[in-house]
Structure 1
Amino acid sequence: MNVNEIKNIENIIPLDEGEKIIKQTVNRLTAPGENYGSLMLSVDITVETQDGEMKEINAVAKMVPPNEFIQKIFNTQVTFRNEIGFYKNIVPTLQNFQREHGVQEVIDFSSKYIGSRINLKDDNTQVDSDAVLLLENLKLSNFKNLERTEGFDLDVSKLVIKDLAYLHGVSLALKLQKPDVFENEVKRFLTTLKMDDSEGAEQMKAKIRKLIESVDGCKPFVSRVMKAIDQPPNLQPREPFATISHNDVWVNNTMIQLDRKKPIKNKLVDFQVCNYGSPAKDLLFFLFSSVKNHILEKHYNDLVQFYHRTFTSVLKELKCDTTQFSFGAFEKELDYEARNSQFGHIVFMCFPIFAPKGSVKDIAELLPGEFSDGPPTELHKQKLAFVIKEFIKRNWI
């Protein structure tokens, strides 16, 4: 799909008095397979000031996917509004809450919000093809997606886990101390996504079964694995841990800033399916989908403990009693989510994560059960075998 301009963009760009937009240059931002739930564009805008000087605004535009099947899967009518709400309402609410407690360095794990709309009618009815969410272009600050098929090393993993702990911890502290604010400014933008794709789900299950049967050492576990995948996930939030859950933290939904090849900062992106649920969901899904196998094999316990230390330190900084959030209680959360929600999620996402570049169809052409035209790669098989082995070892499946 080609998009040459965003209509009426001047209505969503914050301009000072006397400023006007002279030019906009729009290009596709992501290649096929790098994003599924939205059409992603880079937008470079030239603005003339009242004094006749020129300034540039470099943005990323998230737009409705040009595919009715994808819109249905992602429940775009709800999730597009929710993502706008995350950047426009939730982030500033959490930052202001931190400032009220004297926190100097408030959360900074997401892109800066520029502007948004759900249609050109200036009403609150239907999200349509003119809907747009404008955010800062992180690539201009040297943030980038790392190679999705390689997975993260220990240093990058810790950067992402730290940001997850702050996302979860600050929002949980707000819930505990200001439940009305949490309900009105946060929770109303958190909707559980129920994938409406029975046809595609059956096709994916058939692909998973076939793949497991082809992987050395996995064939004896086919029935055990398929039973776990057939089990409907339990999506009911449980107290006291329930908080904002990103719900989709994998390699491509993080951007890493490097300094002399050393990772120094992370940004989380793509908050369209965030919901109200357990922080353990995000941690498990990230660890087993996006961290290198040998790193996770050696450092799983260290990373879980690092997450919990950071999470509880955030709660303490915001004057919360952490008694009910002990490490033992968190381990029970991990066990519950591993058994009831995350195994199928991880196995399913291995298909887009390990799809060879060039094999993935454009978002406009994707059909149920499709991610790539080629056979599973060796990296995909290795990750699947690793995940199955680890979940069986921990008696999670």
Structure 2
Amino acid sequence: MEITNYIAGKLVPELLRQKIIYIDGADDTEFINIDSVDVKELNEAFALTKPYAVDVKLSRYAERDVKHEFHLVVKITPKMPQELYNNFQYDVLFESEETAYRDVIPALGRKDDFPKYYYSHREKTRAVMVLGNFSYEGWKLSQSRVNLDLNHILVAVRELGKFHGECYALKESNHGLFHIITKSFRESRYAMDFDEIYGAMLKASPKRGTQAIRENHELRRMIPEEFLQKIEKLSEDPWNYFKKCVLPVEPLATIIHGDYLRNNIAFQYDEKAPHSPIKVMMFDFQTLRYASPMIDLAVFLANSTGTDVRSTHFSFIFKTYHEEVIKTLMFTLKKFRHEIDDIYSYENFLREYARMSMYGYIIAAQFLQVLHDPEEIDFEQMFAEGQRLGPDFFVQKAMKAGGEVVNYELAGLIYDMYKLHQKLGIELE
């Protein structure tokens, strides 16, 4: 109720006062009436920031029967203790998204392909962002939270390849602007030390996959114990491992989404084939960063695809992504294929993907359990329970949540990593 009152009683009037929402043709002296503000929470379990669908109706004093509608999404931080608010780095998360909408997307030259940005505001313990509600334009989340089918995967990786290609083109054609934008980025996820409970879960969860391998006679015979031990060693200090992975390494570093997975992308579907996606829109740029593009692809494939489809079609999926990068570079830079620099070769990208595959696996080890067993997250309650029950309780929960399907998927990710590293003749790092 408190948030609803804030949106209806304070935020919407402020948007009208600043003419962020307004009636075309009305002059400064004309009285504009707020006829109604309808606020509905959008329930996406595991979302750090609470999103609300807000429908506003305005009317002019001289034409009260004519309603002018605005369909918005308001992202607002949940109520929580100051310590937890700071630990989640909400100020930086919202700053990163502001940078995406104000600087990066306009520089790419296709604002209409992303959510419309209206407004943002940050205070000591509250951050707010107002975007257009793209569901009114036919965009929607996929029905499946996990294990997207091949059609959804291919459309998603094409859009990702296009975004990365455009960012590479900006880096090459306007390096000064690119440098100014990326220089402003602040670390939005790994600057603070993690909470004790989350840290314990993050450290323990990767062992679900290695344990599942050891308990499967066929997989245990195919994957050496040394490989499993290397996974466990690399995930002993996951936070510092993440910090190392997100450091930009040239020449492939570029602007990336940072959290590209199913719950941060929306699809448009063919009217004649309502289950066939034709376009993708990415949103939620709170972890925007300058880093390896393979962080985006590794996170997407580890968390939003399933073993059965990913393992069978990996080469096709990866080639689809890479081809879109090359086509976008050719189109944007107005070059022929043979003029595109060799740094963007398929082999370089595949090796970079292998380097980032462990990053995607550790994220999945902690996140797939939530995706397969979603429940509404009350951060204030979780913080209180953590103080009362201690980390061991949550570690035990993390090792079981989601059931056998999570064990199967994590084992599949390890198998895929092993095959790729064997194919390329490189060590897991």
TM-score by length of structure 2 reads 0.78
Match of 1:228 in 2: 234
The equivalent position to 2:39 in structure 1, one of 13, 21, 26, is 26
Is 1:116 the counterpart of 2:120? The answer is: yes
CA contact (8 A) 2:269 2:276 kept: yes
Match of 2:406 in 1: 380
Match of 1:201 in 2: 199
CA contact (8 A) 1:27 1:43 kept: yes
Stretches of structure 2 lacking an aligned partner (at least 5 in a row): 422-426
Match of 1:351 in 2: 369
Change (3 A) 1:151 1:72: farther
Q: CA deviation at 1:66?
A: 2.1
AA in 2 matched with 1:331: L
Aligned length: 374
Stretches of structure 1 lacking an aligned partner (at least 5 in a row): 96-105, 120-125
User: Counterpart of 1:55 in 2: which secondary structure?
Assistant: strand
Structure 1, 299-308 or 47-56: larger mean CA deviation: 47-56
User: Counterpart of 1:361 in 2: which secondary structure?
Assistant: coil
CA contact (8 A) 1:151 1:290 kept: yes
Q: Aligned partners of 1:280, 1:262: CA distance in 2, in Å? A: 26
Q: CA deviation at 1:184?
A: 2.9
The equivalent position to 1:14 in structure 2, one of 18, 21, 33, is 21
Is 1:322 the counterpart of 2:340? The answer is: yes
Match of 1:237 in 2: 248
Q: Aligned partners of 1:9, 1:314: CA distance in 2, in Å? A: 39
Q: Aligned partners of 1:168, 1:381: CA distance in 2, in Å? A: 32
Q: Aligned partners of 2:279, 2:360: CA distance in 1, in Å? A: 27
Q: Aligned partners of 2:233, 2:3: CA distance in 1, in Å? A: 44
Is 1:165 the counterpart of 2:168? The answer is: no
Q: Aligned partners of 1:107, 1:383: CA distance in 2, in Å? A: 36
Q: Aligned partners of 1:236, 1:207: CA distance in 2, in Å? A: 24
Q: CA deviation at 1:304?
A: 1.0
AA in 2 matched with 1:383: E
Q: CA deviation at 1:392?
A: 2.2
AA in 2 matched with 1:245: I
CA contact (8 A) 1:45 1:56 kept: yes
AA in 2 matched with 1:10: P
The equivalent position to 1:294 in structure 2, one of 308, 314, 318, is 308
Structure with the bigger percentage of helix: 2
Is 1:362 the counterpart of 2:365? The answer is: no
User: Counterpart of 1:261 in 2: which secondary structure?
Assistant: strand
Change (3 A) 1:299 1:31: closer
User: Counterpart of 1:61 in 2: which secondary structure?
Assistant: strand
Q: Aligned partners of 1:224, 1:147: CA distance in 2, in Å? A: 36
Q: Aligned partners of 2:232, 2:87: CA distance in 1, in Å? A: 22
Q: Deviations over 1:123-162 (max 9, x none)?
A: xxx4x32x31111112223322224544211111111111
User: Counterpart of 2:85 in 1: which secondary structure?
Assistant: helix
AA in 2 matched with 1:393: K
1:77-156 pair list within 5 angstroms: 77-95=91-109, 106=110, 108-119=112-123, 126=124, 128-129=125-126, 131-156=127-152
Q: Aligned partners of 1:148, 1:392: CA distance in 2, in Å? A: 27
Is 1:56 the counterpart of 2:72? The answer is: no
Q: CA deviation at 1:72?
A: 3.3
Sequence identity (%)? 23
Match of 1:278 in 2: 292
Is 1:258 the counterpart of 2:269? The answer is: yes
Q: Deviations over 1:361-380 (max 9, x none)?
A: 33443336769797332321
The equivalent position to 1:182 in structure 2, one of 173, 178, 182, is 178
Q: Aligned partners of 2:186, 2:257: CA distance in 1, in Å? A: 10
Q: Aligned partners of 1:207, 1:318: CA distance in 2, in Å? A: 42
TM-score by length of structure 1 reads 0.84
User: Counterpart of 2:164 in 1: which secondary structure?
Assistant: helix
Q: Deviations over 1:352-396 (max 9, x none)?
A: 222x24x44334433367697973323212211111111122236
Structure 1, 134-143 or 267-276: larger mean CA deviation: 134-143
User: Counterpart of 1:168 in 2: which secondary structure?
Assistant: helix
CA contact (8 A) 1:107 1:166 kept: no
Q: CA deviation at 1:229?
A: 1.4
Q: Aligned partners of 1:255, 1:351: CA distance in 2, in Å? A: 22
Q: Deviations over 1:181-232 (max 9, x none)?
A: 2233455246352053151212332344367536642786753432121252
Q: Aligned partners of 2:169, 2:212: CA distance in 1, in Å? A: 47
User: Counterpart of 1:241 in 2: which secondary structure?
Assistant: coil
Q: Aligned partners of 2:50, 2:69: CA distance in 1, in Å? A: 23
Match of 1:102 in 2: none
Q: CA deviation at 1:108?
A: 4.6
User: Counterpart of 1:79 in 2: which secondary structure?
Assistant: helix
Task: Return the index of the structure with the highest Cα Rg.
Answer: 2
Q: Deviations over 1:319-340 (max 9, x none)?
A: 265222111222222222225x
Q: Aligned partners of 1:191, 1:222: CA distance in 2, in Å? A: 30
The equivalent position to 1:333 in structure 2, one of 352, 355, 377, is 352
Q: Aligned partners of 1:245, 1:198: CA distance in 2, in Å? A: 26
CA contact (8 A) 1:89 1:186 kept: no
Q: CA deviation at 1:58?
A: 0.9
CA contact (8 A) 1:284 1:334 kept: yes
